[in-house]
Amino acid sequence: MKKQSIKFLIFSIVAVITLSIMSGCCDEKKSGVTDEAKAESEWISLFDGQTLDGWKRYNADEITDLWIVEDGMILCNGKGGDEGAGQARGSLITKSQFDNFELVLDWKITTGANSGILYHIVEKPELAHAYETGVEYQLLDDVGFPSPVTEAQKAASAYDMYPASADKPLNPPGEWNSSKLIYNNGHVEHWLNGEKVVEYDESSEDWKARYDESKWGEYPQWGQYKKGAIGLQDHGGKIWFKDIKIKKL
């Protein structure tokens, strides 16, 4: 009986250890799924594919037919001239405000068109345009745009501040591009089709020097706000957007 008791004790210990290991493995797998689901849940969809709920036109109560939903995409139809060329014009902005964030979206543009992704927009009745406060990730047909532009005014650049990489992977008009924009306590990154094409810090001396040489001195409230709306720019060109998501940092 004594030998049987020892054998039973050894068997019990082995069984407990085995169950503990198996339980640990299950917990790790469970935790992995949970972490993945949690990471996905951190993303906020800014466009439901059907409506413009959660959006408005800058400094306006009505969006008008300038901005519409077409086949699961947001379309700026380019009617009526340049931004601000009439009461029906104006950029589309989120009703929610964001400070530090990672934003991703897809866009395609028509030949010769111009647009942009703006952030930290603050609406003020005395300011006619969203870009008077919001900083811009430029969207442009670099090749077909009818007017001369500087390198810092081309697609994926921080408009009139930092030019995108010369070898950036930009797809032509009519084809989709994927953009990512990160703002984190003044550190900014622009990504285009999976490649980082701009990186800078607002607190650097380089930023200050570029600001002094830019057009933004004409707009004293530009870049002054660190929390505001996300905007899709109306600049008179036809452009589509889809799969718009944001993550707070």
Give DSSP secondary structure letters for 128-194.
--GGGT-EEEEEE-TTT-SS---GGGSTTSBTTTBPPPTT--PPPTTS-EEEEEEEETTEEEEEETT
Q: Where are the domains of the chain?
A: 1-41, 44-248
pLDDT score, position 2: 52
pLDDT score, position 151: 98
The more confidently predicted of residues 239 and 19 is 239
pLDDT (tens digit, 9 = 90+) per residue, 155-209? 999 999 999 999 999 999 999 999 999 999 999 999 999 999 999 999 999 999 9
How would residue 16 be classed by pLDDT, with cut points 50, 70 and 90? very low
**Looking at residues 60-84, what average pLDDT do you find?**
85
**Contact yes or no for 142/155 (Cβ under 8 A):** yes
pLDDT (tens digit, 9 = 90+) per residue, 145-170? 999 999 999 999 999 999 999 999 99
How would residue 64 be classed by pLDDT, with cut points 50, 70 and 90? confident
The answer regarding whether domain 44-248 maps to CATH 3.50.50.60 reads no
pLDDT (tens digit, 9 = 90+) per residue, 98-131? 999 999 999 999 999 999 999 999 999 999 999 9
Q: Are strands 101-109 and 239-248 parallel, antiparallel or unpaired?
A: antiparallel
Question: Distance between CA atoms of 97 and 74, rounded to whole angstroms?
Answer: 20
pLDDT score, position 28: 45
CA 76 to chain centre: 17
Tokens of 247: 């993550």
Question: Distance between CA atoms of 106 and 95, rounded to whole angstroms?
Answer: 20
Of 92, 142, 149, which Cα lies nearest the Cα of 113? 142
